[in-house]
Structure 1
Amino acid sequence: MSTFIAAIDAWAQPAGGRTRELLPEVVRLFEKSGSAHLLDQRLTPEQTVAEMDKAGVEKLMLAAWCRPERWVFSNDEIAAYTRAFPERFVGVATVDLSKPLAAVRELERAVLELGCKALRIVPWLWKLPPNHRLYYPLYVKCIELDIPFCTQVGHTGPLMPSETGRPVPYLDEVALDFPELRIVAGHIGHPWTDEMIGLAWKHDNVYIDTSAYLPRYYPAQLLQFLQSYGQDKVLFGSNFPQLSLSRCMSQVRELGLAAEIEAKFLQQNARRVFTL
Protein backbone atom coordinates (compact mmCIF):
# COMPACT_ATOMS: atom_id res chain seq x y z
CA MET A 1 0.00 0.00 0.00
CA SER A 2 1.24 3.52 -0.72
CA THR A 3 2.13 5.76 2.17
CA PHE A 4 0.08 8.73 0.95
CA ILE A 5 -2.18 9.45 -1.99
CA ALA A 6 -4.23 12.63 -1.84
CA ALA A 7 -7.90 12.04 -2.66
CA ILE A 8 -10.45 13.57 -4.97
CA ASP A 9 -13.77 13.34 -3.14
CA ALA A 10 -16.51 12.71 -5.70
CA TRP A 11 -19.51 13.63 -3.50
CA ALA A 12 -19.57 16.51 -1.02
CA GLN A 13 -21.50 19.66 -0.23
CA PRO A 14 -20.79 22.79 1.82
CA ALA A 15 -21.17 22.73 5.58
CA GLY A 16 -23.60 25.62 5.60
CA GLY A 17 -25.03 25.22 9.10
CA ARG A 18 -28.64 25.24 7.86
CA THR A 19 -29.24 21.55 7.21
CA ARG A 20 -31.99 21.24 9.83
CA GLU A 21 -33.88 24.10 8.23
CA LEU A 22 -33.35 23.44 4.53
CA LEU A 23 -32.99 19.63 4.38
CA PRO A 24 -34.88 18.30 7.41
CA GLU A 25 -35.12 14.85 5.77
CA VAL A 26 -31.38 14.27 6.23
CA VAL A 27 -31.30 15.02 9.96
CA ARG A 28 -31.99 11.37 10.72
CA LEU A 29 -29.16 10.32 8.39
CA PHE A 30 -26.69 12.45 10.35
CA GLU A 31 -27.99 11.04 13.61
CA LYS A 32 -27.76 7.43 12.42
CA SER A 33 -24.22 8.10 11.20
CA GLY A 34 -23.07 9.43 14.56
CA SER A 35 -22.67 12.86 12.96
CA ALA A 36 -25.51 14.79 14.59
CA HIS A 37 -22.99 17.24 16.03
CA LEU A 38 -22.10 18.27 12.45
CA LEU A 39 -25.65 19.28 11.48
CA ASP A 40 -25.21 22.87 12.66
CA GLN A 41 -21.56 23.15 11.71
CA ARG A 42 -20.83 26.13 9.48
CA LEU A 43 -17.48 26.11 7.75
CA THR A 44 -16.04 28.86 5.58
CA PRO A 45 -14.15 27.88 2.43
CA GLU A 46 -10.92 28.45 4.36
CA GLN A 47 -12.05 26.19 7.20
CA THR A 48 -13.17 23.54 4.74
CA VAL A 49 -9.75 23.55 3.08
CA ALA A 50 -8.18 23.12 6.52
CA GLU A 51 -10.31 20.00 7.05
CA MET A 52 -9.22 18.72 3.64
CA ASP A 53 -5.56 19.31 4.46
CA LYS A 54 -5.92 17.48 7.75
CA ALA A 55 -7.47 14.46 6.02
CA GLY A 56 -5.34 14.33 2.90
CA VAL A 57 -8.02 15.36 0.42
CA GLU A 58 -6.78 17.25 -2.62
CA LYS A 59 -10.14 18.24 -4.13
CA LEU A 60 -13.80 18.26 -3.14
CA MET A 61 -16.46 17.85 -5.81
CA LEU A 62 -18.76 20.37 -4.14
CA ALA A 63 -22.40 20.15 -5.20
CA ALA A 64 -25.32 22.55 -5.32
CA TRP A 65 -28.71 21.36 -4.05
CA CYS A 66 -32.17 22.20 -5.30
CA ARG A 67 -35.38 20.67 -4.02
CA PRO A 68 -38.96 21.29 -5.12
CA GLU A 69 -39.72 24.99 -4.70
CA ARG A 70 -36.48 25.79 -2.87
CA TRP A 71 -32.77 26.16 -3.47
CA VAL A 72 -30.58 24.80 -0.67
CA PHE A 73 -27.17 25.68 -2.16
CA SER A 74 -27.29 27.59 -5.44
CA ASN A 75 -24.82 27.13 -8.27
CA ASP A 76 -23.58 30.65 -7.61
CA GLU A 77 -22.90 29.80 -3.97
CA ILE A 78 -20.84 26.83 -5.09
CA ALA A 79 -18.99 29.06 -7.54
CA ALA A 80 -17.95 31.30 -4.64
CA TYR A 81 -16.05 28.31 -3.21
CA THR A 82 -14.43 27.39 -6.51
CA ARG A 83 -13.36 30.98 -7.16
CA ALA A 84 -11.82 31.24 -3.69
CA PHE A 85 -9.86 27.97 -4.04
CA PRO A 86 -9.90 26.87 -7.69
CA GLU A 87 -7.32 24.12 -7.08
CA ARG A 88 -9.25 22.60 -4.18
CA PHE A 89 -12.96 22.84 -5.00
CA VAL A 90 -14.68 21.59 -8.16
CA GLY A 91 -18.23 22.75 -8.75
CA VAL A 92 -21.06 20.28 -9.37
CA ALA A 93 -24.19 21.98 -10.66
CA THR A 94 -27.81 21.19 -10.04
CA VAL A 95 -31.09 22.49 -11.47
CA ASP A 96 -34.77 22.83 -10.70
CA LEU A 97 -36.01 19.61 -12.27
CA SER A 98 -39.62 20.86 -12.37
CA LYS A 99 -38.78 23.58 -14.93
CA PRO A 100 -37.34 21.74 -17.96
CA LEU A 101 -36.39 24.64 -20.20
CA ALA A 102 -35.02 26.80 -17.39
CA ALA A 103 -33.15 23.75 -16.07
CA VAL A 104 -31.28 23.22 -19.34
CA ARG A 105 -30.39 26.90 -19.52
CA GLU A 106 -29.22 26.94 -15.89
CA LEU A 107 -27.04 23.88 -16.47
CA GLU A 108 -25.42 25.50 -19.47
CA ARG A 109 -24.79 28.69 -17.47
CA ALA A 110 -23.36 26.76 -14.53
CA VAL A 111 -20.88 24.96 -16.77
CA LEU A 112 -19.93 27.66 -19.27
CA GLU A 113 -20.00 30.68 -16.93
CA LEU A 114 -19.41 29.24 -13.46
CA GLY A 115 -17.05 26.43 -14.43
CA CYS A 116 -19.00 23.49 -12.99
CA LYS A 117 -17.75 20.06 -14.05
CA ALA A 118 -20.83 17.87 -13.56
CA LEU A 119 -24.58 17.82 -12.96
CA ARG A 120 -26.03 16.15 -9.88
CA ILE A 121 -29.69 15.41 -9.14
CA VAL A 122 -30.84 13.44 -6.09
CA PRO A 123 -33.93 11.50 -7.21
CA TRP A 124 -35.53 10.97 -3.80
CA LEU A 125 -35.84 14.73 -3.33
CA TRP A 126 -38.08 14.87 -6.40
CA LYS A 127 -39.68 11.42 -6.02
CA LEU A 128 -38.82 10.85 -9.68
CA PRO A 129 -36.50 8.06 -10.86
CA PRO A 130 -33.76 9.02 -13.33
CA ASN A 131 -35.58 7.52 -16.33
CA HIS A 132 -38.38 10.09 -15.95
CA ARG A 133 -38.90 12.33 -18.97
CA LEU A 134 -37.90 15.50 -17.06
CA TYR A 135 -34.29 14.30 -16.87
CA TYR A 136 -33.85 13.53 -20.55
CA PRO A 137 -33.17 17.04 -21.93
CA LEU A 138 -30.52 17.39 -19.22
CA TYR A 139 -28.81 14.19 -20.34
CA VAL A 140 -28.56 15.54 -23.87
CA LYS A 141 -27.05 18.77 -22.54
CA CYS A 142 -24.57 16.85 -20.35
CA ILE A 143 -23.36 15.00 -23.44
CA GLU A 144 -23.08 18.26 -25.40
CA LEU A 145 -21.11 19.86 -22.54
CA ASP A 146 -19.02 16.71 -21.98
CA ILE A 147 -19.81 16.49 -18.27
CA PRO A 148 -20.96 13.53 -16.14
CA PHE A 149 -24.38 13.10 -14.60
CA CYS A 150 -24.16 12.27 -10.90
CA THR A 151 -27.03 10.70 -9.00
CA GLN A 152 -27.90 8.70 -5.88
CA VAL A 153 -28.54 4.97 -5.86
CA GLY A 154 -29.65 2.61 -3.11
CA HIS A 155 -32.01 3.08 -0.22
CA THR A 156 -32.50 6.52 1.27
CA GLY A 157 -31.04 7.22 4.69
CA PRO A 158 -33.61 10.00 5.01
CA LEU A 159 -37.18 8.87 5.64
CA MET A 160 -38.20 9.09 2.00
CA PRO A 161 -39.22 6.36 -0.47
CA SER A 162 -36.23 4.36 -1.75
CA GLU A 163 -37.74 3.17 -5.03
CA THR A 164 -36.11 5.99 -7.04
CA GLY A 165 -32.69 4.64 -6.05
CA ARG A 166 -33.04 1.20 -7.64
CA PRO A 167 -30.30 0.76 -10.26
CA VAL A 168 -32.44 -1.71 -12.24
CA PRO A 169 -34.50 -0.82 -14.16
CA TYR A 170 -34.16 2.95 -13.83
CA LEU A 171 -30.48 3.73 -14.26
CA ASP A 172 -30.05 0.79 -16.63
CA GLU A 173 -32.61 2.33 -18.98
CA VAL A 174 -30.85 5.70 -18.88
CA ALA A 175 -27.50 4.10 -19.73
CA LEU A 176 -29.12 2.21 -22.62
CA ASP A 177 -30.78 5.35 -24.00
CA PHE A 178 -27.66 7.50 -23.58
CA PRO A 179 -24.54 5.35 -24.07
CA GLU A 180 -22.37 8.49 -24.40
CA LEU A 181 -23.49 9.85 -21.02
CA ARG A 182 -20.99 9.38 -18.18
CA ILE A 183 -22.99 8.40 -15.09
CA VAL A 184 -21.58 8.44 -11.56
CA ALA A 185 -23.88 6.63 -9.14
CA GLY A 186 -23.26 7.73 -5.57
CA HIS A 187 -23.91 5.90 -2.28
CA ILE A 188 -22.93 2.40 -3.49
CA GLY A 189 -26.49 1.19 -4.19
CA HIS A 190 -27.09 -0.86 -1.02
CA PRO A 191 -29.19 -3.02 -0.72
CA TRP A 192 -28.93 -3.37 -4.51
CA THR A 193 -25.13 -3.30 -4.57
CA ASP A 194 -24.92 -6.32 -6.84
CA GLU A 195 -27.25 -4.62 -9.32
CA MET A 196 -25.06 -1.51 -9.28
CA ILE A 197 -21.91 -3.54 -9.82
CA GLY A 198 -23.66 -5.29 -12.69
CA LEU A 199 -24.51 -1.97 -14.32
CA ALA A 200 -20.96 -0.66 -13.94
CA TRP A 201 -19.69 -3.84 -15.62
CA LYS A 202 -22.35 -3.77 -18.33
CA HIS A 203 -22.10 -0.11 -19.35
CA ASP A 204 -18.77 1.46 -20.29
CA ASN A 205 -19.77 4.88 -18.98
CA VAL A 206 -21.34 3.91 -15.64
CA TYR A 207 -19.36 4.36 -12.42
CA ILE A 208 -19.92 3.96 -8.67
CA ASP A 209 -18.89 6.32 -5.90
CA THR A 210 -18.66 5.22 -2.29
CA SER A 211 -20.12 8.30 -0.59
CA ALA A 212 -22.24 8.09 2.57
CA TYR A 213 -20.53 4.89 3.72
CA LEU A 214 -17.47 4.67 5.95
CA PRO A 215 -14.84 2.48 4.27
CA ARG A 216 -15.00 -0.15 7.00
CA TYR A 217 -18.63 -0.72 6.00
CA TYR A 218 -18.09 -1.05 2.24
CA PRO A 219 -19.86 -4.26 1.11
CA ALA A 220 -17.51 -7.19 0.48
CA GLN A 221 -18.60 -7.52 -3.14
CA LEU A 222 -17.80 -3.85 -3.79
CA LEU A 223 -14.32 -4.25 -2.31
CA GLN A 224 -13.77 -7.28 -4.53
CA PHE A 225 -15.00 -5.31 -7.57
CA LEU A 226 -12.77 -2.29 -7.00
CA GLN A 227 -9.72 -4.52 -6.46
CA SER A 228 -10.28 -6.60 -9.60
CA TYR A 229 -12.26 -6.12 -12.80
CA GLY A 230 -13.86 -2.91 -11.48
CA GLN A 231 -10.68 -1.08 -10.53
CA ASP A 232 -11.36 1.62 -13.15
CA LYS A 233 -15.03 1.99 -12.16
CA VAL A 234 -15.14 2.97 -8.47
CA LEU A 235 -14.54 6.49 -7.11
CA PHE A 236 -13.98 7.59 -3.53
CA GLY A 237 -16.70 9.79 -2.01
CA SER A 238 -17.50 10.90 1.53
CA ASN A 239 -20.82 12.80 1.50
CA PHE A 240 -19.11 15.48 3.59
CA PRO A 241 -20.21 16.92 5.98
CA GLN A 242 -22.33 13.86 6.88
CA LEU A 243 -19.07 11.92 7.29
CA SER A 244 -15.85 13.62 8.30
CA LEU A 245 -13.06 13.64 5.75
CA SER A 246 -10.45 12.54 8.28
CA ARG A 247 -12.55 9.58 9.42
CA CYS A 248 -13.15 8.41 5.85
CA MET A 249 -9.55 8.79 4.77
CA SER A 250 -8.08 7.06 7.80
CA GLN A 251 -10.35 4.08 7.13
CA VAL A 252 -9.37 3.98 3.45
CA ARG A 253 -5.76 3.51 4.59
CA GLU A 254 -6.91 0.61 6.76
CA LEU A 255 -8.32 -1.27 3.75
CA GLY A 256 -4.83 -2.32 2.72
CA LEU A 257 -5.39 -1.67 -0.98
CA ALA A 258 -2.52 -2.24 -3.38
CA ALA A 259 -0.83 1.04 -4.34
CA GLU A 260 -2.11 0.95 -7.93
CA ILE A 261 -5.67 0.21 -6.83
CA GLU A 262 -5.63 2.90 -4.13
CA ALA A 263 -4.36 5.48 -6.61
CA LYS A 264 -7.19 4.70 -9.05
CA PHE A 265 -9.83 4.64 -6.33
CA LEU A 266 -8.77 7.83 -4.57
CA GLN A 267 -7.77 9.96 -7.50
CA GLN A 268 -7.16 8.67 -11.01
CA ASN A 269 -10.68 7.45 -11.77
CA ALA A 270 -12.25 10.74 -10.68
CA ARG A 271 -9.68 12.76 -12.60
CA ARG A 272 -10.56 10.82 -15.77
CA VAL A 273 -14.36 10.73 -15.35
CA PHE A 274 -14.68 14.42 -14.45
CA THR A 275 -11.90 15.47 -16.90
CA LEU A 276 -10.06 17.36 -14.19
Structure 2
Amino acid sequence: MATMNVGELVAVDMHTHAEVSADGHTSLSPELFGASEKYFKEHPRPAIPEMAAYYRERKMAAVVFTVDAEHATGHPRISNEEIAEHCAEHADVLIPFGSVDPWKGRAGVREARRLVEKYGVRGFKFHPSLQGMSPGDRAAYPLYEAIEELGVPALFHTGQTGIGAGVPGGGGIRLKYSNPMLVDDVAVDFPELRIILAHPSFPWQDEALAVATHKPYVYIDLSGWSPKYFPPQLVRYANTLLKDKVLFGSDYPVITPDRWLSDFDKLEIKPEVRPRILKDNAVRLLGLGAEERTTRS
Protein backbone atom coordinates (compact mmCIF):
# COMPACT_ATOMS: atom_id res chain seq x y z
CA MET A 1 0.00 0.00 0.00
CA ALA A 2 1.34 3.43 -0.95
CA THR A 3 2.29 5.84 1.82
CA MET A 4 2.30 9.61 1.77
CA ASN A 5 5.59 11.36 1.07
CA VAL A 6 4.85 14.74 2.60
CA GLY A 7 8.10 16.26 1.38
CA GLU A 8 7.07 15.78 -2.25
CA LEU A 9 3.64 17.37 -1.86
CA VAL A 10 3.13 20.91 -3.14
CA ALA A 11 -0.17 21.42 -1.28
CA VAL A 12 -2.78 19.80 0.95
CA ASP A 13 -6.39 20.45 -0.04
CA MET A 14 -8.35 20.37 3.21
CA HIS A 15 -11.83 20.34 1.67
CA THR A 16 -13.05 17.94 -1.02
CA HIS A 17 -16.32 16.06 -1.34
CA ALA A 18 -17.10 12.45 -2.16
CA GLU A 19 -20.31 12.98 -4.13
CA VAL A 20 -20.98 9.48 -5.42
CA SER A 21 -20.38 5.97 -4.06
CA ALA A 22 -19.09 2.98 -5.98
CA ASP A 23 -22.66 1.79 -6.58
CA GLY A 24 -23.84 5.21 -7.81
CA HIS A 25 -25.51 6.46 -4.61
CA THR A 26 -25.24 10.26 -4.40
CA SER A 27 -24.39 12.35 -1.37
CA LEU A 28 -27.49 14.56 -1.78
CA SER A 29 -31.06 13.97 -2.89
CA PRO A 30 -31.81 14.69 -6.57
CA GLU A 31 -33.67 17.87 -5.59
CA LEU A 32 -30.76 19.28 -3.57
CA PHE A 33 -28.19 18.12 -6.10
CA GLY A 34 -30.08 19.88 -8.87
CA ALA A 35 -30.21 23.11 -6.89
CA SER A 36 -26.52 22.85 -6.03
CA GLU A 37 -25.56 22.41 -9.67
CA LYS A 38 -27.57 25.47 -10.68
CA TYR A 39 -25.83 27.47 -7.95
CA PHE A 40 -22.27 26.22 -8.54
CA LYS A 41 -22.71 25.33 -12.25
CA GLU A 42 -22.74 21.74 -13.44
CA HIS A 43 -19.64 19.78 -12.51
CA PRO A 44 -18.33 16.20 -12.72
CA ARG A 45 -18.91 13.74 -9.88
CA PRO A 46 -15.67 11.76 -9.75
CA ALA A 47 -15.42 8.48 -7.87
CA ILE A 48 -12.80 8.40 -5.14
CA PRO A 49 -10.20 6.51 -7.24
CA GLU A 50 -10.61 9.22 -9.90
CA MET A 51 -10.04 11.87 -7.23
CA ALA A 52 -6.85 10.08 -6.21
CA ALA A 53 -5.54 10.12 -9.77
CA TYR A 54 -6.44 13.79 -10.12
CA TYR A 55 -4.54 14.84 -6.99
CA ARG A 56 -1.62 12.47 -7.62
CA GLU A 57 -1.08 14.09 -11.01
CA ARG A 58 -0.82 17.47 -9.27
CA LYS A 59 1.42 16.25 -6.41
CA MET A 60 -1.21 17.26 -3.87
CA ALA A 61 -2.96 15.50 -1.02
CA ALA A 62 -6.66 15.91 -0.34
CA VAL A 63 -8.98 15.47 2.63
CA VAL A 64 -12.11 13.61 1.45
CA PHE A 65 -15.51 13.46 3.17
CA THR A 66 -19.25 13.36 2.74
CA VAL A 67 -22.00 14.78 4.98
CA ASP A 68 -24.27 12.61 7.12
CA ALA A 69 -27.51 14.58 7.38
CA GLU A 70 -30.02 11.76 7.14
CA HIS A 71 -32.08 12.88 10.16
CA ALA A 72 -32.91 16.26 8.60
CA THR A 73 -32.97 15.36 4.90
CA GLY A 74 -34.13 11.74 4.89
CA HIS A 75 -31.39 10.95 2.35
CA PRO A 76 -28.90 8.22 3.37
CA ARG A 77 -25.27 9.23 3.32
CA ILE A 78 -22.40 7.70 1.40
CA SER A 79 -20.74 5.14 3.67
CA ASN A 80 -17.93 6.48 5.85
CA GLU A 81 -16.34 3.06 5.72
CA GLU A 82 -16.35 3.05 1.92
CA ILE A 83 -14.67 6.45 1.82
CA ALA A 84 -12.06 5.38 4.37
CA GLU A 85 -11.32 2.12 2.57
CA HIS A 86 -10.90 3.85 -0.79
CA CYS A 87 -8.65 6.49 0.79
CA ALA A 88 -6.55 3.72 2.36
CA GLU A 89 -6.02 2.28 -1.12
CA HIS A 90 -4.69 5.70 -2.19
CA ALA A 91 -3.02 6.74 1.04
CA ASP A 92 -0.25 8.53 -0.84
CA VAL A 93 -2.67 11.33 -1.70
CA LEU A 94 -6.03 10.89 0.08
CA ILE A 95 -6.90 11.55 3.74
CA PRO A 96 -10.27 10.29 5.01
CA PHE A 97 -12.58 12.36 7.20
CA GLY A 98 -15.82 10.90 8.52
CA SER A 99 -19.22 12.47 8.99
CA VAL A 100 -21.62 11.40 11.74
CA ASP A 101 -25.03 12.99 12.10
CA PRO A 102 -25.03 14.58 15.59
CA TRP A 103 -28.67 13.50 15.98
CA LYS A 104 -27.49 9.88 16.28
CA GLY A 105 -26.58 10.22 19.96
CA ARG A 106 -24.69 7.33 21.53
CA ALA A 107 -24.75 5.34 18.30
CA GLY A 108 -22.93 8.22 16.64
CA VAL A 109 -20.31 8.27 19.38
CA ARG A 110 -19.65 4.56 18.92
CA GLU A 111 -19.39 5.05 15.18
CA ALA A 112 -16.92 7.92 15.51
CA ARG A 113 -14.66 5.83 17.73
CA ARG A 114 -14.81 2.89 15.33
CA LEU A 115 -14.04 5.07 12.32
CA VAL A 116 -10.88 6.44 13.91
CA GLU A 117 -9.67 3.30 15.65
CA LYS A 118 -10.48 0.74 12.94
CA TYR A 119 -10.61 2.71 9.70
CA GLY A 120 -7.98 5.39 10.26
CA VAL A 121 -10.29 8.39 9.82
CA ARG A 122 -8.36 11.61 10.52
CA GLY A 123 -11.19 14.05 11.30
CA PHE A 124 -14.94 14.72 11.06
CA LYS A 125 -17.09 17.00 8.92
CA PHE A 126 -20.21 18.77 10.23
CA HIS A 127 -22.69 20.84 8.21
CA PRO A 128 -24.96 22.51 10.78
CA SER A 129 -27.41 23.96 8.26
CA LEU A 130 -27.82 20.71 6.35
CA GLN A 131 -27.92 18.62 9.55
CA GLY A 132 -30.51 20.92 11.13
CA MET A 133 -28.69 21.49 14.39
CA SER A 134 -26.83 24.39 15.95
CA PRO A 135 -23.17 23.52 16.61
CA GLY A 136 -23.68 24.43 20.28
CA ASP A 137 -26.66 22.10 20.77
CA ARG A 138 -25.92 19.91 23.80
CA ALA A 139 -27.19 16.88 21.92
CA ALA A 140 -23.95 16.97 19.91
CA TYR A 141 -21.66 17.27 22.94
CA PRO A 142 -21.04 13.53 23.52
CA LEU A 143 -19.87 13.30 19.92
CA TYR A 144 -17.54 16.30 20.29
CA GLU A 145 -16.20 14.81 23.53
CA ALA A 146 -15.30 11.59 21.72
CA ILE A 147 -13.67 13.44 18.83
CA GLU A 148 -11.64 15.57 21.24
CA GLU A 149 -10.52 12.45 23.09
CA LEU A 150 -9.59 10.74 19.82
CA GLY A 151 -7.35 13.70 18.99
CA VAL A 152 -8.70 14.47 15.52
CA PRO A 153 -10.18 17.76 14.24
CA ALA A 154 -13.80 18.71 13.64
CA LEU A 155 -14.55 20.71 10.49
CA PHE A 156 -17.72 22.84 10.48
CA HIS A 157 -19.34 24.33 7.40
CA THR A 158 -19.81 28.06 8.04
CA GLY A 159 -21.57 30.82 6.14
CA GLN A 160 -24.14 30.62 3.38
CA THR A 161 -24.52 27.34 1.49
CA GLY A 162 -25.33 26.68 -2.13
CA ILE A 163 -27.15 23.52 -1.09
CA GLY A 164 -30.87 24.24 -1.28
CA ALA A 165 -30.38 27.60 -2.97
CA GLY A 166 -33.38 28.40 -5.17
CA VAL A 167 -35.52 25.58 -3.79
CA PRO A 168 -38.72 26.84 -2.07
CA GLY A 169 -37.87 27.41 1.57
CA GLY A 170 -34.24 26.60 0.76
CA GLY A 171 -35.11 22.92 0.93
CA GLY A 172 -35.68 23.34 4.67
CA ILE A 173 -32.05 24.41 5.25
CA ARG A 174 -31.63 27.14 7.88
CA LEU A 175 -28.62 29.37 7.29
CA LYS A 176 -28.53 30.61 10.89
CA TYR A 177 -26.98 27.36 12.14
CA SER A 178 -23.81 28.08 10.17
CA ASN A 179 -22.89 31.33 11.89
CA PRO A 180 -19.31 30.68 13.08
CA MET A 181 -20.06 32.43 16.36
CA LEU A 182 -22.15 29.38 17.28
CA VAL A 183 -18.97 27.29 17.07
CA ASP A 184 -17.39 29.51 19.73
CA ASP A 185 -19.38 27.63 22.40
CA VAL A 186 -17.86 24.37 21.15
CA ALA A 187 -14.36 25.85 21.32
CA VAL A 188 -14.97 26.97 24.89
CA ASP A 189 -16.50 23.73 26.13
CA PHE A 190 -13.97 21.50 24.35
CA PRO A 191 -10.75 23.48 24.74
CA GLU A 192 -8.45 20.78 23.28
CA LEU A 193 -10.62 20.06 20.24
CA ARG A 194 -9.07 21.22 16.97
CA ILE A 195 -11.78 23.04 15.01
CA ILE A 196 -11.78 24.13 11.38
CA LEU A 197 -14.23 26.80 10.20
CA ALA A 198 -14.83 25.94 6.56
CA HIS A 199 -15.09 28.64 3.88
CA PRO A 200 -15.01 32.41 3.88
CA SER A 201 -18.01 32.76 6.19
CA PHE A 202 -20.31 35.13 4.30
CA PRO A 203 -22.11 37.02 5.79
CA TRP A 204 -20.22 36.39 9.05
CA GLN A 205 -16.59 36.81 8.03
CA ASP A 206 -15.71 39.05 10.95
CA GLU A 207 -17.23 36.58 13.41
CA ALA A 208 -15.05 33.78 11.99
CA LEU A 209 -11.93 35.91 12.27
CA ALA A 210 -12.82 36.84 15.84
CA VAL A 211 -13.30 33.22 16.91
CA ALA A 212 -10.13 32.00 15.17
CA THR A 213 -8.09 34.83 16.66
CA HIS A 214 -9.45 34.32 20.18
CA LYS A 215 -9.42 30.51 20.40
CA PRO A 216 -5.98 28.92 19.89
CA TYR A 217 -7.21 25.70 18.27
CA VAL A 218 -9.67 27.19 15.79
CA TYR A 219 -8.55 27.28 12.14
CA ILE A 220 -10.11 28.59 8.91
CA ASP A 221 -10.13 26.82 5.55
CA LEU A 222 -10.47 28.91 2.40
CA SER A 223 -12.64 26.56 0.34
CA GLY A 224 -15.75 27.25 -1.67
CA TRP A 225 -14.71 30.65 -3.02
CA SER A 226 -12.28 31.76 -5.67
CA PRO A 227 -9.56 33.73 -3.85
CA LYS A 228 -10.27 36.75 -6.05
CA TYR A 229 -13.52 37.18 -4.09
CA PHE A 230 -11.99 36.92 -0.60
CA PRO A 231 -12.98 39.79 1.71
CA PRO A 232 -10.03 42.12 2.35
CA GLN A 233 -10.08 41.49 6.10
CA LEU A 234 -9.68 37.75 5.49
CA VAL A 235 -6.59 38.37 3.37
CA ARG A 236 -5.20 40.75 5.98
CA TYR A 237 -5.62 38.27 8.84
CA ALA A 238 -4.27 35.38 6.74
CA ASN A 239 -1.12 37.43 6.18
CA THR A 240 -0.67 38.31 9.85
CA LEU A 241 -2.49 37.12 12.97
CA LEU A 242 -3.78 33.88 11.43
CA LYS A 243 -0.86 32.97 9.17
CA ASP A 244 -0.40 29.68 11.05
CA LYS A 245 -4.14 28.85 11.18
CA VAL A 246 -5.40 29.38 7.63
CA LEU A 247 -5.67 26.35 5.34
CA PHE A 248 -5.95 25.79 1.61
CA GLY A 249 -9.19 24.12 0.58
CA SER A 250 -10.87 24.06 -2.82
CA ASP A 251 -14.33 22.45 -2.39
CA TYR A 252 -13.54 20.06 -5.24
CA PRO A 253 -15.29 19.04 -7.44
CA VAL A 254 -17.41 22.20 -7.18
CA ILE A 255 -14.25 24.32 -7.47
CA THR A 256 -11.08 22.78 -8.87
CA PRO A 257 -7.74 23.32 -7.16
CA ASP A 258 -6.40 24.44 -10.54
CA ARG A 259 -8.77 27.38 -10.63
CA TRP A 260 -8.33 28.12 -6.93
CA LEU A 261 -4.53 28.12 -7.09
CA SER A 262 -4.48 30.23 -10.24
CA ASP A 263 -6.48 32.93 -8.48
CA PHE A 264 -4.50 32.49 -5.25
CA ASP A 265 -1.29 33.26 -7.18
CA LYS A 266 -2.68 36.74 -7.89
CA LEU A 267 -3.59 37.41 -4.25
CA GLU A 268 -1.35 39.67 -2.16
CA ILE A 269 -0.09 37.00 0.20
CA LYS A 270 3.40 37.32 1.67
CA PRO A 271 5.91 34.86 0.15
CA GLU A 272 6.70 33.35 3.55
CA VAL A 273 2.99 32.84 4.28
CA ARG A 274 2.04 31.06 1.04
CA PRO A 275 3.63 27.68 1.90
CA ARG A 276 2.01 27.78 5.34
CA ILE A 277 -1.46 28.19 3.83
CA LEU A 278 -0.96 25.72 1.01
CA LYS A 279 0.68 22.91 2.97
CA ASP A 280 2.56 23.50 6.22
CA ASN A 281 -0.39 24.40 8.46
CA ALA A 282 -2.33 21.33 7.32
CA VAL A 283 0.67 19.03 7.79
CA ARG A 284 1.03 20.24 11.37
CA LEU A 285 -2.70 20.12 12.16
CA LEU A 286 -3.20 16.60 10.80
CA GLY A 287 0.13 15.22 11.93
CA LEU A 288 0.99 14.19 8.38
CA GLY A 289 4.34 12.47 8.10
CA ALA A 290 4.38 11.70 11.83
CA GLU A 291 4.34 7.96 11.16
CA GLU A 292 7.27 8.28 8.76
CA ARG A 293 9.29 10.30 11.29
CA THR A 294 8.56 7.76 14.02
CA THR A 295 9.70 4.89 11.79
CA ARG A 296 12.92 6.65 10.89
CA SER A 297 13.71 7.52 14.49
TM-score, length-scaled by structure 2: 0.83
Structure 1 segment 76-225 matched on structure 2, within 5 A: 76-158=81-163, 159=170, 160-168=173-181, 170-225=182-237
Which residue in the other structure is 1:43 paired with?
46
1:25 maps to 2:25: no
| Aligned-residue CA RMSD (Å) | 2.0
Structure 1 runs of 4+ with >3 Å offset: 17-21
CA deviations on 1:185-206 (whole Å, 9 max, x unpaired) are 1022111101100100000011
Count of aligned residue pairs for this structure pair? 267
In structure 2, distance between residues paired with 1:124 and 1:143 = 22
Q: Distance in 2 between matches of 1:131 and 1:11?
A: 22
CA-CA distance at 1:226 after TM superposition: 0.5
Code of the residue aligned with 2:127 in structure 1: it is V
Q: 1:259 — aligned with what?
A: 271
Q: Which amino acid aligns with 1:121?
A: F
Name the structure, 1 or 2, with higher relative contact order (CA <8 Å, separation 6+): 1
Residue 51 of structure 1, CA deviation: 2.3
Q: CA deviation at 1:21?
A: 5.6
Give distance in 1, aligned partners of 2:103 and 2:225: 30
CA gap of 1:261–1:26, structure 2 versus 1, over 3 A, is farther
CA distance in 1, matches of 2:75, 2:228: 35
Structure 1 residue ranges without an equivalent (≥5): none
Note the alpha carbon deviations across 1:140-196, whole angstroms, 9 max, x for none: 11111101111111122223221001122x111111111111110102211110110
Return 5+ residue gaps in structure 2 as ranges. Answer: 1-7, 164-169, 289-297
CA distance in 1 between counterparts of 2:35 and 2:127 reads: 17
Identity over aligned pairs, percent: 30
TM-score, normalised with respect to structure 1: 0.89
Q: Is the 8 A contact 1:13 1:240 kept in 2?
A: yes
Deviates more, 1:152-161 or 1:230-239: 152-161
For residues 234 and 261 of structure 1, the distance between their equivalents in structure 2, rounded to whole angstroms, comes to: 10
Query: Does structure 2 retain, via aligned residues, the 8 Å contact 1:8–1:57?
Result: no
Deviates more, 1:144-153 or 1:75-84: 75-84
Q: Which amino acid aligns with 1:250?
A: S
Partner of 2:4: none
